[in-house]
Structure 1
Amino acid sequence: MNIIIAGCGKVGRALAEQLSKEKHDITVIDLKPESIQLVTNAADVRGVVGNGASYDIQMDAGVDKADLMIAVTNADEVNLLCCLIAKKAGGCQTIARVRNPVYHHEIHHIKDELGLSMVINPEWAAAMEMARLLRFPSAIDIDTFANGRIELLRFQLDDKNPLCGHKIRDLDTLSKCEVLVCIVERGNEVRIPGGEFVLENGDMISVVASPLNASRFFRTIGIETNQVRNTMIIGGGKISFYLAKRLLEMGIQVKIVEKDRAACERLCEQLPKAMIINGDGTDRDLLAEEGLASAEGFAALTNMDEENVMLSLYAKSMSKAKKITKINRNTFDTIIGSLGIGSLIYPKHITSETILQYVRAMQNSIGSNVETLYRLVDGNAEALEFIIRGESEVTDIPLQELDIKANTLVCAINRKGRIIIPKGQDRIQVGDSVVIITTNCGAFKDVRDILKKTAATAGLSGQR
């Protein structure tokens, strides 16, 4: 597809690089020549220097031939104007990043009135992910599929966990509920395990289950599943506002520490049920006085990655709280991930994942499209949800008879609201929502791509 990206910040660069790898024709627009240079050096893309909201600049970028405009500049209003001009000038589909909380309650109206294909708010999306983690504090990451009916939960095994020393195929008997271990991280290796794989102390495992079975599974293996009762948030920015609002709706007490007095006054007006503390979140005495030791949830959400990491390390030493750390840059993600500071949230990743999901769905040829996409384990694996809209080489055939690519697993099927953790005899049917886990990142745009050969590549009639 022909795609124009307005804005070459972290999200714009990440999108340009990934979409270029997936063989799309990409043109990037930015006011700063040095930003254009960074992207064109890193990926096979075309660059145009200028204002993305300018009709002439968009025409230079080829908007009249574009399939999609993605506007991710630093200004919401510029993003909306970019999309409006692109819609009128080229008739292409449009995606805008809109971050200001002022627009949040009006976003559906804005989307409909401007004819936008998608509006994404990374701070709100990040806050919703954090809220899920505080609802289920034992998990390090939680991703959802099928409108929340299927969950993918990531957690680490310790030497006391009863799963250690057992084979994957024995887990149904041990846990007495339907779950599937779909990813195991051991050291620097990322594996999609078979039934004979033996779990060990220190393994980071990802399991797929319905929310009910996930709760039963964690209780069976002796891991706490109750949501936190209170949370301390350091930093009073947009994510803090969205997170606090959601936690209060969940009945969780919230305390926000913010050093800017004007921001505190604004939060007091917006969140009357939260406790707002005007102070320095890095002050150890203040944290002790405000009850860090007894906090059940702790979120470091300042604008500085280094400060967030240090705050979470300190909270780790002083409290048993569920820790969430916001990270904007992924330069040292491997090192940060090894510090044991709980769940790391990358708002930029959430934005790019959501847009990639939409792009893959747009280019799909047979209607079985990517409904949901998550990049896992620092981008070394992907979880994709496909909607099966028509018969194909993968439908109505036992999974054990399908010639599925290596390092690929069909891990859940949603059939009219009934969640199936599939066995070899189960079949994919038209109308199903199917979750696939793979380490073949970026390779699957259609459900048929899970097969080593399809009718199109093997010259078959579609029947096995």
Structure 2
Amino acid sequence: MRIVIVGAGEVGSTTAESLCEEHEVVVVDRDSERVESLTYDMDVLPIEGDASEMATLEEAGVGEADLLIASTDDDETNIIACGIAKVCGDVFTIARTKSPKYLRPWERGKRAFGVDFMVCTDLLAAEAIVGVTGLPTAQDVDSFADGLVQMTEFEIPPGSPVADQTVAEADRFDSLTFAGVIRDGEVIIPRGETVLRTGDDVIAIGNPESMREFSAAIAPEQDDPKNVVIVGGGQIGYQTARLLEDGGFSPRLIERNGERARWLAEQLPRTTVINGDPTDQDLLSQENVGDADVLISALETDQQNLLVTLLSSRLGAKRAIAVVETADFVDLFETVGVDVAVSPRNVTAEEITRFTRERRAENVAIIEGDQAEVLELEVEADSILADRSIREAAADFPHGAVIGAIARDGAHINPRGDTIVREGDHVIVFADRDALSEVAERM
């Protein structure tokens, strides 16, 4: 497949890196230094130029491309590039936008602006934050089969009752499958005798209730979060509060700008909006931020978010989630004490990348920077699973793949050896990188 990527920033470069091994990738950027660095870093064809000009996209061969991904930091440039691409040829277009103001009209009239698929950075970041807010120790959450099934990545904390137990001992939940363990950057397919260790990231697949039960088993001293504080009322902070309200929460939100604070108070009926400087330790103490079950920092800069999360943790906040604009800082934030660092650019790149994965997959979650994936696949007549028990089909399973859940007629089925898989079932499969192509072909 020939893919043209517009923008060589963090989103574009991450997307290009994940696609260039299997596809012919062209990257367009107006910054000559970025274009030059791409030549040395990855196997792509770099083009220097303005993607809002037809001549530049024609030089990139967009007329013969299968896919155009517009991922610059400028929403208008991305939309214009998609419109030009449609004029040049029959190309599928993906536009990244930061503001939801373009997403709303696009959702109402699909293919508006010449865009086939639109990805909103701020909304995706808010969804990622809300996904982990309700589950203590959760690092990542993705939904499958219209919400029937969840994939959650949990970190085993020090002192957890689950630490040093085998998978067989820890597996006491009827609707949950331990699909993978990530230890020191290595993906392990767990067996019954696999021992879970402090610091492991466990990939669990099951229904949402089983995720809450396992979360409670990992950290029984942590109650379900009720007291949630959001610091920063920009687009990510606003979208996070709105989604939390939809989930039954009544968060508090601290916003420095008085006019913005008034607007937020009008838009968020279940949110208590506080006008003040969120980097002021006295204000944080006065507003009892130390009592928060979850503190979410969504300010404008990484430095501010790091400061606020560390101050809040020192005051007693049980869990700290920070927005990190510089993707390379994610590991640093989590090393110095931030519980979860969410990079809007990373979640956007992942959303774009997974859309370009095997088209047969209904949904895809990318684990640990491409180390593994969780795929939702509909079972077809020629699948190795069709009309066979999982035990019978196991001999034909790709090595490095595990069936985590089955969805059938709106119901969740926890897979066991004697479970018969039917044509039309949706199976949620965990697969390490080496097994992906075989899983897509055979399952």
Post-superposition offset of 1:213: 2.6
Say which of 382, 386, 403 aligns to 1:391: 382
Post-superposition offset of 1:268: 4.0
Post-superposition offset of 1:302: 1.7
Q: Identify the residue that residue 11 of structure 1 maps to in structure 2.
A: 11
TM-aligned CA distance change 1:427 to 1:26, over 3 Å: farther
Provide the alpha-carbon RMSD of the alignment.
2.7
Q: Distance in 2 between matches of 1:85 and 1:355?
A: 20
Q: What is the TM-score of this pair, normalised by structure 2?
A: 0.90
Q: What is the TM-score of this pair, normalised by structure 1?
A: 0.86
Number of residue equivalences? 441
Deviations 1:356-411 (A, max 9, x none): 2221244xxxxxx1222222235433222222344234433443433333332222
Q: Distance in 1 between matches of 2:206 and 2:222?
A: 14
Amino acid at match of 2:430: I
Post-superposition offset of 1:439: 2.6
Post-superposition offset of 1:143: 1.7
Q: Distance in 2 between matches of 1:60 and 1:383?
A: 37
Tell me whether 1:431 sits opposite 2:427 in the alignment.
no
Amino acid at match of 1:191: I
Q: Identify the residue that residue 254 of structure 1 maps to in structure 2.
A: 251
Q: Identify the residue that residue 289 of structure 1 maps to in structure 2.
A: 286
Q: Distance in 2 between matches of 1:158 and 1:101?
A: 36
Greater mean alpha carbon deviation, residues 61-70 or residues 47-56: 47-56
Identity among equivalent pairs (%) = 29
Tell me whether 1:444 sits opposite 2:436 in the alignment.
yes
Q: Identify the residue that residue 382 of structure 1 maps to in structure 2.
A: 373
Deviations 1:33-57 (A, max 9, x none): 2222222321111122222122222
Q: Distance in 2 between matches of 1:69 and 1:326?
A: 28
Greater mean alpha carbon deviation, residues 250-259 or residues 4-13: 250-259
Post-superposition offset of 1:8: 1.5
Greater mean alpha carbon deviation, residues 61-70 or residues 194-203: 194-203
Deviations 1:406-432 (A, max 9, x none): 332222221222222322343443212
Checking the alignment, whether the CA contact within 8 Å between 2:137 and 2:155 is kept in structure 1 is no
Checking the alignment, whether the CA contact within 8 Å between 1:231 and 1:297 is kept in structure 2 is yes
Amino acid at match of 1:444: L
Post-superposition offset of 1:15: 0.8
Post-superposition offset of 1:146: 1.2
Q: Identify the residue that residue 410 of structure 1 maps to in structure 2.
A: 403
Q: Distance in 2 between matches of 1:43 and 1:438?
A: 25
Q: Identify the residue that residue 323 of structure 2 maps to in structure 1.
A: 326
Find the residue that maps to 1:331 and give its secondary structure.
Answer: helix
TM-aligned CA distance change 1:20 to 1:419, over 3 Å: same
Find the residue that maps to 1:402 and give its secondary structure.
Answer: helix
Post-superposition offset of 1:127: 0.8
Find the residue that maps to 2:101 and give its secondary structure.
Answer: helix
TM-aligned CA distance change 1:6 to 1:110, over 3 Å: farther
Q: Identify the residue that residue 212 of structure 2 maps to in structure 1.
A: 215
Amino acid at match of 1:7: G
Q: Distance in 1 between matches of 2:305 and 2:218?
A: 31
Deviations 1:226-245 (A, max 9, x none): 65333221222211111111
Q: Identify the residue that residue 169 of structure 1 maps to in structure 2.
A: 168
Q: Identify the residue that residue 302 of structure 2 maps to in structure 1.
A: 305
Greater mean alpha carbon deviation, residues 291-300 or residues 389-398: 389-398
Amino acid at match of 1:179: L
Q: Identify the residue that residue 366 of structure 1 maps to in structure 2.
A: none
Checking the alignment, whether the CA contact within 8 Å between 1:356 and 1:373 is kept in structure 2 is no
Q: Identify the residue that residue 131 of structure 2 maps to in structure 1.
A: 132
Post-superposition offset of 1:273: 4.8
Checking the alignment, whether the CA contact within 8 Å between 2:157 and 2:219 is kept in structure 1 is no
Say which of 174, 179, 184 aligns to 1:182: 179
Unaligned stretches of 5+ residues in structure 1: 363-368, 452-464
Checking the alignment, whether the CA contact within 8 Å between 2:358 and 2:440 is kept in structure 1 is no
Find the residue that maps to 2:192 and give its secondary structure.
Answer: coil
Find the residue that maps to 1:181 and give its secondary structure.
Answer: strand
TM-aligned CA distance change 1:354 to 1:61, over 3 Å: same
